[in-house]
Amino acid sequence: MSSRDATPSLYQTATQLSIYQQASVSVRSKRGLSFNRDYYYKKLCKFFRLVRHAVRVWLIVRKYAIESSRNSREQLYNSTEILFDLSKFRRPVEETIGRDIRTILKSDPETRTEDDIRMIAVGLGQTVSSFTEFPLQRQYALARVAILEEFERGRVILREGHVAEKFYLIVDGITDVYKLRENPQTHTFSSRLVAVLKKGSSFGEVALINAHRRTATVCCQTDVSMISIEREDFIKIFMAKDAASEPDFITFLRQLPEFRGFPIDKIPHDNPRICQVVYYRMGTLMSRDSNEDEWIYIIRTGCCRVIKALTQVTPKLVTRKKPKVMYDNFNTQRASQYSIEALGTVAKPKSPVKPAKCYTEIEQIREKSVFGLVSIVFGQLKNALSVTLISDGAECIRIRKNFFMKMTPQSLFDRLRREVRPYITDEDLQKKLQSEVDWTAYKHLLVKRIYERNARNRLITFNY
């Protein structure tokens, strides 16, 4: 074979190989495309099957919902009594005592049995949450003598200046409390709303305890139901007195270090004008002014809070002064010197603001604590602090200050001057309040500045 014959054969074989390679590549590419097409087709079919099942489920649920609503509507239409859904027009029922308990409370207290008393105590405890604040023994005592009274809207329950005869606890309804205020210019009196009492609130106990006249007028805002306790029953329940040789509270007084050396045997425990045992509910004002109060309070059980009324202050922080804004006679802001000289601008006057009051808690006194000795021992001081006593649910023994000062020997006075710690003055309390307000305002201002600085830094970083 010649060289010419060999060369074309080699050329043909090379060309054939290249054709085979192109064919194999095309086949592979077609297989890859077909493989990807089949994969996505299967995924799409699976998605459509899921959608179809979801639609079927939704149609089944909708069918049952329509059938149930149709059945309920047919039952409503077939009823001969009502032609509408009562649940749409039903007024929310307030939880209150039952009819049986109301009937028992309206009956004569002397005819009540032990089961009736137990039913009243349980019913009031379940419906009136404040009734459970009383000790269990007093709950049953109240259930034994309480009488249910009902008043219509607009009825006056008690008036300011009348003699206190009853103690009231609201079971249902809302009442308004009014007080008479005198106009210093016209010297005329007008009633002013000072409080609104709702279910669970009580009133009338302070006048009964202190033997004072009513200090406010109570009127019904709505129909009101309340239980009332007569004055004699209230004294027996909340101002216990024992005719025995030595009651329990006299034994309790012997344990106090403040009464060591005091002639306790001379305390007339059967005379409520000199010594009483009184229970104060939570939130009751026991003593408005410790310097003017006539009683010494010894906490037997529970606790009380000693608070003081202070003048509300504003923070005094040293900051950059803002430019003074001037206003003309038309209350228009002017900034140029020409307008100031031409129109005669003046500084905008500020309306005087009456300083408001705020209350701060000085201390919390608990069992075996005595309140009122500070005014006796340090009563001669000019700047003696006057504080207020609020009950957190406490039973107290009250003794007249005049009797205590009359029967206290000089040695006990000298010891009390060394042991009793006086309160700080009003000036010191105002300074502490000012420093606390300044510190709180500074913390808020510092946090605000840090937040604004971080916000500016984030904004600059984002722009770049």
pLDDT in tens, 354-377: 677 888 888 899 888 999 888 888
* Residue type present at position 340: I
Rounded to 5 degrees, φ, ψ at 356 are -85, 165
CA 300 to chain centre: 27
432 SS3 class: helix
Q: What is the pLDDT of residue 275?
A: 85
Q: Strand 346-347 and strand 370-371: pairing?
A: unpaired
- Token readout for 116 is 């009736």
pLDDT of residue 315: 85
Residue 80: left (phi > 0), alpha (psi -120 to 50), or beta? alpha
| pLDDT on residue 328 | 55
Q: Strand 147-151 relative to strand 175-182: parallel, antiparallel, unpaired?
A: unpaired
Measured distance CA(339)–CA(328) in Å, rounded: 8
Question: What's CA 166's distance to the chain center, in Å?
Answer: 28
Q: pLDDT digit string (tens) for 65-87?
A: 888 777 766 665 555 555 556 56
16 vs 23: CA distance, rounded Å: 11
Determine the Cα–Cα distance for residues 296 and 258; give it in Å rounded to an integer. Answer: 12
Quote the CA–CA distance of 291 and 33 in Å, as a whole number.
100
Give the C-alpha separation, 23 to 365, whole Å.
102
Q: In angstroms, rounded to a whole number, what is the distance separating the alpha carbons of residues 303 and 181? A: 34
Cα–chain center distance at 347: 43
Record the pTM. Answer: 0.58
Which amino acid is it at 53? Answer: H
Instruction: Give the rounded distance of the alpha carbon of 374 from its chain centre.
Output: 32
Side chain identity, residue 21: Q
As a whole number of angstroms, the distance between CA 134 and CA 142 comes to 10
Instruction: Render pLDDT for 76-128 as a digit per residue (tens, 0 to 9).
Output: 555 555 555 656 665 554 577 788 888 888 888 888 888 888 888 888 888 88
Ranges under pLDDT 70 in the chain? 1-35, 72-94, 239-246, 318-354, 379-384, 459-464
What is the rounded CA–CA span in Å between residue 98 and residue 127? 10
Burial of 307 (0-12, 13-18, 19+ CB in 10 A): middle
Assess contact for 105 and 147: CB atoms under 8 A.
yes
Per-residue pLDDT at 12 = 47
Distance (Å, whole) CA 47 – CA 291: 85
pLDDT of residue 464: 47
Give the residue among 177, 223, 231 at the shortest CA–CA distance from 203.
177
CA 49/CA 156 separation, integer angstroms: 75
Q: Is the dihedral of CA 93, 94, 96, 99 positive or negative?
A: negative
Extract the tokens encoding 120. Answer: 């009243």
Cβ atoms of 194 and 150 closer than 8 Å = no
**449 and 442 in contact (C-beta within 8 Å)?**
no
Asked if 304 and 394 touch (Cβ cutoff 8 Å), the reply is yes
Residues 6+ apart with CB under 8 A from 179: 160, 191, 192, 194, 215, 216, 217
Question: How many alpha carbons lie under 13 Å from residue 102 in its C-beta half-sphere?
Answer: 11
pLDDT at 25: 46
pLDDT digits (tens, 9 = 90+) for 210-242: 778 888 899 999 999 999 998 888 888 876 555
Q: What is the pLDDT of residue 17?
A: 44
SS3 368: coil
* The residue count for the chain: 464
Structure-token pair, residue 183: 């106009």
CA 392, 393, 396, 401 torsion: positive or negative?
Answer: positive
Q: What is the dihedral of CA 233, 163, 269, 392, to 10 degrees?
A: 80
Q: Do the Cβ atoms of 314 and 235 come closer than 8 Å?
A: no
What is the structure's pLDDT at 325? 57
Give the contacts of 221 (CB within 8 A, at least 6 positions apart).
153, 173, 174, 175, 176, 196
Query: What phi and psi, each to the nearest 5 degrees, are found at residue 42?
Result: -65, -40
- H-assigned helices in 420-464: 426-463
